Chain A
């Protein structure tokens, strides 16, 4: 069964600290993996996309990693800011334009 699991479900960190969010998947055949940021009451916005051959991708303070062998991805946020408070959703695409969503990690950054 194609599934995407994210952990932790929620996370609270102090401003300026780093954090890492996890995504494990069983989707096959794999096409790509995206991390989305969703601000409260807004639509998800793509942060990074990685294909099978990529194992790291950065977007400013966001760095995503992908281990296609173990089917794991992580999103590392460096020097967190209050504006990083959001839900982060991992979406795995299977070949043929099939998408599988994780339930997200809710991140709260406190001053």
Chain B
């Protein structure tokens, strides 16, 4: 099984619909992140959480919300999807071990808003 699992892998939704992307991890990491990736722009941080009671906005949080239901689960919601939210979304985890911290990424969710 993958260390970081995202569901669904692909989703097409209509403008104005609410959609939730789910992420679960078996790494035992406290820190979880949601990124979106657009061609030519690289990965941009949407939200991150350092533990179950901690939620922080990233650089592009408008139009998104998150929920950290448990250490292993971090979901991303689009309350009212719009076409420019069409992108590849990645969940990641990290563990802040001094000098060796780094991400483990999920396989991504390709979201298309029509």
Contacts and interface: CB of A to CB of B under 8 A. Distances in A.
B34 interface: no
B8 interface: no
Given A51-B99, A89-B42, A93-B102, A43 B4 contact: yes
Interface residues of B, number: 23
Given A101-B43, A104-B42, A91 B110 contact: no
Nearest to A42: B107
B90 interface: yes
Contact of A43 (B94, B96, B106): B106
A42 B99 contact: no
Interface residues of A, number: 21
Interface string B52-90: 000000000000000000000000000000000000101
Interface in A71-98: 89, 91, 93, 97
Of A32, A36, A43, A104, most B-chain CB atoms within 10 Å = A43
Nearest to B6: A43
23 contacts: A31-B98, A31-B99, A32-B102, A34-B102, A36-B105, A41-B108, A42-B107, A42-B108, A43-B92, A43-B108, A44-B43, A44-B90, A46-B102, A49-B100, A49-B102, A51-B100, A89-B42, A93-B102, A97-B96, A97-B101, A99-B94, A101-B43, A103-B41
A-B pairs, 7 with minimum CB distance: A43-B105, A103-B42, A97-B96, A101-B43, A43-B107, A51-B99, A44-B105
Interface of A: 31-32, 34, 36, 41-46, 49, 51, 89, 91, 93, 97, 99, 101-104
Interface of B: 4, 31, 40-43, 88, 90, 92, 94, 96, 98-108, 110
